[in-house]
Amino acid sequence: MGQWMLYCLLILVGMFLGALFSRSWLREGDPRDMPMVPPVWTLPPPTGLPRNDAYLINATTAAVASEDVTCSNLGLSILQGKNGSAVDAAITTTLCIGLLNAFSSGIGGGGFMVVHVPETHKVNDQVLRDIGYDGELEDGRVVALDFRETSPSQCEKDTYGTHKAGRMAAQVGGLAIGVPGELRGLEAVMPVAELAKGWRVSRELARRLRLFGEFMLSSPTWSAVYAPRGAMLVEGDFIQRLNYGKTLEKIAEEGASAFYQGEIAESSIKTIAKAGGVMTLDDLKSFKALSYPAIHSTFMDKEIYTTSAPSSGGILLGLLNVLEPLNITSDGGLKNPLNVHRFLEALKFAFGARSWVTDPAFAKDKKRLEEVYTKEWADGIREKITDNETHSADYYGLQYDTPIDHGTTHLSAVDKWGGAASVTSTVNLIWGSHVMDPKTGVIFNDEQAPDAFGLWPSPWNYPAPGKKPLSSTSASIILNPTTHSSPSSPSSSSSSSSSLYAVIGGSGGSRIFPSVAQVLINLFSGLDISESIEAYRVHNQIVPDLTTIEVGPEGVDQGIVKALKEKGHNVGEFDVNIGISEVQAIVVEDGHIFAASDSRKNGIAAGY
């Protein structure tokens, strides 16, 4: 890690201590009571399912959008008070979410990051070097970082099928744990350890604790944190994760390698083995993050950059490529029944293609992984979409079901130089593998889990030593079109003239890339970014055979429901407040930075 990043780590300690005692959002009381622009769209929550209002943050300099207001503000303080970059803010915010919302993320998990560093950036190439990228910077100057977990060296395709616990062995317990990648990927630990000394239970954490109270009360390790007095903590209660804070302090002092070897690593392996896992110290020590030029395509005259396989970034690009020539943003956008039908049909083809996406290092045909985000592939898919009816599962090319990951978080950050970071990290299903190290406080992922509906993944995604599991994530950065240096040479573009337009991504398992796509369609249909996020969403992933449509307090457009049923869709309605998938995004336009976090997960963004 570069000296510049180390310097940032040291000076942030002082900032963090000051913030803990001076910022209103860390004082006693409701942390959401802070200055904020008026809500642009409000969903009065039903009884028993409280949620925040939705806010559109209108900033002029920098912004952070995450699923927790405390973490959004903490990330913003890095940008505002310490002259940090978007990458600095993203690192701090990610670790903050892993502390406060451990059901979504943590250093026992992994993920993906997309970074844009314009030529005019203060620290220029050093930001990319600090995250481990040493390649050439291509047009757009956007780089992807893959710190997805890997399968342990003793993990084979039949590890779970032959285990006495069967399918559950790949969801809960030691066998579910993949080699954590988050710390190698971020390569820095901010003083989030200070926050571990105490904070107030948020609305979203309280909701997740209610859902998993029985499990936590049955475990001395978990109840020591989340039910220290014998009853589950509720919103507003004081909470601490002192052992986890000490783990972060040790990593901050000794570097990320302290997690992968030494005392912390030994404790992790001991805990995992006790839970029935097969990970070794060599697995931890040998983990390496990958960095590469982000893959990209175009949509609505913008350049979209995202992560390649084993993420679903390429699937997102392919889906948008199919939809754009269908004028999906015209004639009312997703308020038009025909547009909704076309979106669902394109989405099912996207899920068909997703079933054979795998870790490129294990792919027999890498060209197949790349063709899905080409315009040619999209042209062929578009010809198969029929406006009058839907079809059976085999029509869409689905060969096997694919894993989903619920325990996920996304954040977007923009700094004052126009740099950006889009980060999605996960522990897979909620609360990961349900394995917590009682000594270090680390909650481990369950990235070896099969699909939660009960179907096993395709042969392309059977576990193998060192293999990265398929991910639903699609962290993305969108740039305005690059100005070419000369009309006769479109390939010789001037990267300095490409400017940031948006940073976006989501959480929520298999609904992630469909949700991101719908938000972008809404945005290019004329809604602002908060309205685009808060609008209703539809979903169909072929298995199960169900088209779901969100229902808010204002009800649902029965005209759309009726039209879909007439075309053969099996439509089911569900309460938007359930919060299955959430999107965090930032849009830069006309001298303003508009940031919004999804109220489905009680998120609030921050900016200045």
Residues with Cβ within 8 Å of 543's Cβ and at least 6 positions away in sequence, in order, are 393, 398, 401, 453, 455
Residues with Cβ within 8 Å of 178's Cβ and at least 6 positions away in sequence, in order, are 110, 149, 150, 151, 152, 445, 446, 447, 448, 469
Helices 242-254 and 263-274: crossing angle, nearest 10°? Answer: 140
Residue type for position 137: L
Query: In sequence order, which ranges of 255-312 are alpha helices (DSSP H)?
Result: 257-260, 263-274, 281-286
Q: Using CA atoms, how far apart are residues 183 and 147, in angstroms rounded to an integer?
A: 8
Tell me: is residue 427 an annotated ligand-binding position. Answer: yes
> φ, ψ for residue 144 (rounded to 5)?
-105, 145
DSSP, collapsed to helix, strand or coil, labels residue 127 as helix
For the chain, the distance separating the N- and C-terminal CA atoms, rounded to the nearest angstrom, is: 29
Per residue, what are the HEC states of 45-106? CCCCCCCCCECCEEECCCEEECCCHHHHHHHHHHHHHCCCCHHHHHHHHHHHHHHHCCCCCC
Residues with Cβ within 8 Å of 315's Cβ and at least 6 positions away in sequence, in order, are 350, 353, 354, 357, 372, 373, 474, 513
Residues with Cβ within 8 Å of 256's Cβ and at least 6 positions away in sequence, in order, are 1, 183, 184, 186, 187, 188, 189
Q: Using CA atoms, how far apart are residues 144 and 114, in angstroms rounded to an integer?
A: 4
The one-character DSSP state at 486 is -
Residue 70 bears catalytic tag: no
Bond preceding residue 544 cis, omega within 30 of 0:
yes
Dihedral of CA atoms 6, 10, 15, 18 in degrees, nearest 10, equals: 160
Strands 63-65 and 407-414: antiparallel
- Residue in the block written with tokens 């910022």: 23
Q: Using CA atoms, how far apart are residues 287 and 261, in angstroms rounded to an integer?
A: 11
Tell me: is residue 148 an annotated ligand-binding position. Answer: yes
DSSP, collapsed to helix, strand or coil, labels residue 204 as helix
Residues with Cβ within 8 Å of 577's Cβ and at least 6 positions away in sequence, in order, are 43, 45, 46, 49, 51, 552, 600
| Closest by Cα among 521, 512, 479, 522 to 583 | 512
Q: How far is CA 17 from CA 75, 143, 319, 334, 608, in A?
A: 14, 32, 45, 46, 21
- Residue in the block written with tokens 């060209």: 367
Residue type for position 252: A
Q: Using CA atoms, how far apart are residues 484 and 477, in angstroms rounded to an integer?
A: 20
| DSSP per-residue string spanning 350-384 | HHHHHTT---GGG-S-HHHHHHTTSHHHHHHHHTT
Tell me: is residue 22 an annotated ligand-binding position. Answer: no
**Which one of 150, 306, 307, 408 is the catalytic residue?**
408
Query: For residue 67, what are its two tokens?
Result: 């699923």
Q: What b/e readout covers 52-61, taking b as 16+ CB neighbours within 10 angstroms?
A: bbbbbbebee
Q: Which residues are catalytic?
A: 408
Q: Which residues are annotated as a binding site?
A: 148, 426-428, 471-472, 509
Binding residues for L-glutamate, by number, are: 148, 426-428, 471-472, 509
